Chain A
Amino acid sequence: MLTAEELREIEAEAEHYPKREAVCIDALKIVQRHRGWVSDESVHDIAEHLGMSATDVDSVATFYNLIFRKPVGRHVVMVCDSVSCWIMGYERVRAHLREQLGIEYGQTTSDDRFTMLPIVCLGCCDHAPAMMVDSDLHSDLDPKKIDSALEKYK
Chain B
Amino acid sequence: MKDSFDRPLTERMHPDPSIVDLQAYELAAGYQAIRKVLRTGMTPMAVTEEVKESNLRGRGGAGFPTGLKWSFVPRGKDVPNPTYLVVNGDEMEPGTFKDRLLMERDPHQLIEGAIVAAYAIEADIAYIFLRGEYTLAAERLARAIAEAYERHYLGKNIFGSGYSLELYLHLSGGRYICGDETGLLDALEGKRANPRSKPPFPPSVGLFGKPTIVNNVETICCVPHIINQGATWFRGLGRTKDGGTKLFGVSGKVKRPGLWELPMGTTVREVLEEHAGGMLDGVKFRGLLPGGASTDFIVEEHLDLPMDFTALDKAGSRMGTGTMIVLDDRTCPVGMTWNLTHFFARESCGFCTPCWSGLGWADRILKAMEQGRGNPGDLDKLEFQTKMWAPGHTFCALAPGAAEPVQSALKYFRGDFERHIREHRCPWS
A contacts, CB < 8 Å to B:
16-19, 21-26, 28-29, 59-60, 63-67, 78, 81-84, 86-88, 119-128, 132, 135-137
Contact = CB atoms under 8 A, between A and B. Distances in A.
Interface stretch (B222-230, B246-254, B304-312, B389-397): B246-254
A125 B173 contact: no
Given A84-B325, A87-B331, A120-B92, A21 B190 contact: yes
> Which are the 5 A-B pairs with shortest beta-carbon distances?
A64-B173, A125-B251, A24-B190, A66-B174, A82-B94
A125 B190 contact: no
Listed residue (A24, A81, A122) with the most chain B CB atoms within 10 angstroms of its CB: A122
Interface in B238-268: 249-253, 257-259
Given A21-B190, A60-B190, A125-B257, A29 B171 contact: yes
A126 B97 contact: yes
A128 B170 CA distance: 27
Contact of B96 (A22, A67, A78, A123): A123
Contact of B94 (A24, A29, A84): A84
Interface string B115-138: 000000000000100001111100
B189 A67 contact: no
Contact of A67 (B97, B127, B174): B174
A83 B336 contact: yes
Contacts of B176: 120
Interface residues of B, number: 54
Nearest to A62: B192
A25 B95 CA distance: 27
A25 B93 contact: no
Given A87-B336, A125-B325, A25 B251 contact: no
A76 to B, nearest CB: 11
A63 B192 contact: yes
Contact of A121 (B96, B136, B259, B328): B96
B109 to A, nearest CB: 18
B76 to A, nearest CB: 21
Nearest to B254: A126
Given A25-B190, A29-B132, 16 more contacts: A24-B190, A26-B171, A60-B173, A60-B190, A60-B191, A64-B173, A65-B174, A66-B132, A82-B293, A83-B94, A83-B340, A87-B251, A87-B331, A121-B92, A121-B293, A126-B250
Given A22-B188, A123-B97, A123-B134, A84 B252 contact: yes
A3 B213 CA distance: 37
Contacts of A24: 190-191
B341 to A, nearest CB: 10
Contact of A125 (B95, B99, B174, B339): B95
Contacts, number: 139
B237 interface: no
Contacts of A22: 188-190, 208
Given A22-B190, A120-B343, A123-B96, A132 B133 contact: yes
Given A120-B347, A128-B251, A135-B135, A64 B258 contact: no
Nearest to B289: A83
18 contacts: A16-B170, A18-B208, A19-B190, A22-B188, A24-B190, A26-B170, A63-B192, A63-B193, A64-B173, A65-B173, A82-B343, A86-B339, A88-B251, A120-B92, A121-B94, A125-B95, A125-B96, A135-B135
A18 B210 CA distance: 11
B384 interface: no
Contact of B175 (A64, A83, A86): A64
B233 interface: no
Contacts of B135: 135-137
A123 B93 CA distance: 8
B9 to A, nearest CB: 17
A60 to B, nearest CB: 6
B100 interface: yes
A64 B176 CA distance: 10
Contact of B173 (A23, A28, A121, A127): A28
B84 to A, nearest CB: 10
Listed residue (B190, B208, B252) with the most chain A CB atoms within 10 angstroms of its CB: B190
A83 B95 contact: yes
Nearest to A121: B94
A74 B309 CA distance: 46
